[in-house]
Amino acid sequence: MKLLPKQLNTRLQLRKQLRRASGFQIAIAHRLRQLNVEDWRTVTAAQSFYFSPEYLQMIEVAGPANLEPRYALISDDDGPRAAVCMQIVQVSLEHFGEPGKRKLKVPLTERILVCGNLLSYGQHGVCFAPGSTPAELWPAVADALYRTRRCEKLDGQTNLIVVKDILEADKEPSACLGKLSYSAVETEPNMVLTLPEGVHTHADYLANLASKYRNAVKSQIYKPFDAAGFRMERLDDVASVTGHLQDLYLQTHTNARLRPFMLDQEYWPALAAAAGARIVFHVAVKGSHIYGFVVTLKDADTAVVWHIGFDREAATNGVPLYLRLLHASLTQSIDFGCRRVSFGRTALAPKARIGCRPEPMQVWVRHRQPLLNRAISPLLRLIQHEDAPEYSPFKKDNQPL
């Protein structure tokens, strides 16, 4: 009997490994309430807000129409060890590229299983119980993803799995995915600001900047914003202005090249209610009209500059709405007592001038069809992403570590 070539035999063994049970107990659910929510809290307590039942159940009610949540709770005989947040998103060509400029009009749709959260940036797919060893549990995460994808056949084939926003600290523990036919691809980085010691107000932040950067903030952002008659206010009653927020969100959202989902109007008050004191909305106002908004979240020790929307016409006419909203969120982050501020992965240059540094992120991708999956890896290596420019806005003696 002729033996199989070594390379083919290795692939077959890896495929068998993918289909082998991890040895952990895995519960999979469409709704969080179908799981033991107290076990979920045991795993996720005091960790990211994005794993909290309050947030996840809010998404179930007020999340995007083309997004369906899935959950997995991984346990052993000693109790719950990991919580997995998944989303099945149905996308089409309408979700990609510049609106109105697509040459291809084929009604192509695809269901994608995402381990993570499309509404956020960061590793919000897997949460490990305190004291656990992530490298021991990632094979169980792969097991949960495989089982979830297989369960979806009755609702429609789910061909692609994406494990979203793997940070540097997650790369080695999740490396088992590479042995299970997943391919890694680097994405645009998350821009993160680490504030120098002794910064307790926005004025302290400005005092730590080199003079040319400090003068630029004052003369190019604050001065023209104020001169145009605008002011920045904290928004306490989100429900009363949801229509305004939605309009501004759409003006910003529809301009993006990648739009895998669209939030609805009821999302904004639902988010405010779910997050409570952790979240603050700021609005840019002229007279009684809102021209922009930004959402700032206190997520454990990190402040997240999250959703943003602004009036495109006013911005085109020279009002620095976007930059002023970023500084409003930065001010709130300092007020939260956070030294680490996550600004997200777009508009890398202006965020670098604020003092942010790039935090590399990657995704793991796997297609269910072996032949297509083999083609994915070289294609992913061709994907280019924007690199963050290098700036040193802080005084030499005040550079963050």
Specify whether the CB–CB gap between 181 and 18 falls below 8 A: yes
- Quick one: pLDDT band at residue 342, thresholds 50, 70, 90? very high
Residue 255: what pLDDT?
Answer: 77
Residue 159: what pLDDT?
Answer: 87
> Nearest CA to 354 among 316, 335, 328, 336?
328
Mean pLDDT for the stretch of residues 98-126 = 78
Residue 213: what pLDDT?
Answer: 97
Q: Are residues 201 and 276 in the same domain?
A: yes
Specify whether the CB–CB gap between 283 and 293 falls below 8 A: yes
Residue 110 and residue 114: Cα distance in Å, rounded? 12
Q: Are residues 288 and 176 in the same domain?
A: no
Provide the residue range defining the domain that includes 340. 192-358+391-398
Supply the CATH number for residue 197's domain.
Answer: 3.40.630.30
Mean pLDDT taken over the chain = 90
212 located within any domain = yes
Residue 399: what pLDDT?
Answer: 63
- Higher-confidence residue of 260 and 73: namely 73
- Higher-confidence residue of 369 and 277: namely 277
- Quick one: pLDDT band at residue 4, thresholds 50, 70, 90? low
Residue 27 and residue 353: Cα distance in Å, rounded? 46
385 located within any domain = no
375 located within any domain = no
Phi-psi region of 23 (alpha: psi -120 to 50; beta: other; left: phi over 0): left
- Higher-confidence residue of 18 and 336: namely 336
Mean pLDDT for the stretch of residues 80-99 = 80
Q: Are residues 53 and 166 in the same domain?
A: yes
186 located within any domain = no
Mean pLDDT for the stretch of residues 326-350 = 96
Residue 1: what pLDDT?
Answer: 42
Residue 108: what pLDDT?
Answer: 66
SS (H, E, C) the chain: CCCCCHHHHHHHHHHHHHCCCCCCEEEEECCHHHCCHHHHHHHHCCCCHHHCHHHHHHHHHHCCCCEEEEEEEEEECCEEEEEEEEEEEEEEHHHECCCCCCCCCCCCEEEEEEECCCCCCCCCCEEECCCCCHHHHHHHHHHHHHHHHHHHHHCCCCCEEEEEEEEHHHHCCCHHHHHHCCEEEEEEEEEEEECCCCCCCHHHHHHCECHHHHHHHHHHHHHHHHHCCCEEEEECCHHHHHHHHHHHHHHHHCCCCECCCCCCCCHHHHHHHHHHHHEEEEEEEECCEEEEEEEEEEECCEEEEEEEEECHHHHHCCCCHHHHHHHHHHHHHHHCCCCEEECCCCCHHHHHHHCCEEEEEEEEEEECCHHHHHHHHHHHHCCCCCCCCCCCCECHHHCCC
Residues 33-48 have pLDDT tens digits of 999 999 999 999 989 9
Residue 22: what pLDDT?
Answer: 74
Residue 346: what pLDDT?
Answer: 87
Domain boundary among 132, 155, 181: 181
Q: Are residues 258 and 294 in the same domain?
A: yes
Mean pLDDT for the stretch of residues 124-150 = 96
Into how many domains does the chain fold? Answer: 2
Residue 64: what pLDDT?
Answer: 96
Residue 285 and residue 314: Cα distance in Å, rounded? 12
Mean pLDDT for the stretch of residues 368-394 = 76
Supply the CATH number for residue 25's domain.
Answer: 3.40.630
Q: Are residues 89 and 217 in the same domain?
A: no
Mean pLDDT for the stretch of residues 211-217 = 97
- The tokens for 342 are 């996550």
Q: Are residues 305 and 244 in the same domain?
A: yes
Q: Are residues 217 and 164 in the same domain?
A: no
Residue 229: what pLDDT?
Answer: 98
Q: Are residues 101 and 218 in the same domain?
A: no
Confidence check: pLDDT of 106 > 50: no
Q: Are residues 162 and 245 in the same domain?
A: no
Q: Are residues 109 and 169 in the same domain?
A: yes
Confidence check: pLDDT of 89 > 90: yes
Residue 14 and residue 85: Cα distance in Å, rounded? 25
380 located within any domain = no
Domain boundary among 157, 181, 205: 181
Residue 166: what pLDDT?
Answer: 97
Domain boundary among 148, 181, 214: 181
Lowest mean pLDDT among 66-80, 237-251, 382-396: 382-396
Share of the chain above pLDDT 70, in %: 87
309 located within any domain = yes
369 located within any domain = no
Residue 154: what pLDDT?
Answer: 76
What's this model's pTM, rounded to 2 decimal places? 0.89
Q: Are residues 283 and 211 in the same domain?
A: yes
Residue 9: what pLDDT?
Answer: 65
265 CB contacts (<8 Å, ≥6 apart)?
Answer: 242, 243, 245, 246
Mean pLDDT for the stretch of residues 329-337 = 98
Q: Are residues 53 and 200 in the same domain?
A: no
Specify whether the CB–CB gap between 167 and 123 falls below 8 A: yes
Specify whether the CB–CB gap between 161 and 170 falls below 8 A: no
- Quick one: pLDDT band at residue 104, thresholds 50, 70, 90? very low
Residue 135 and residue 170: Cα distance in Å, rounded? 9
67 located within any domain = yes
- Quick one: pLDDT band at residue 371, thresholds 50, 70, 90? confident
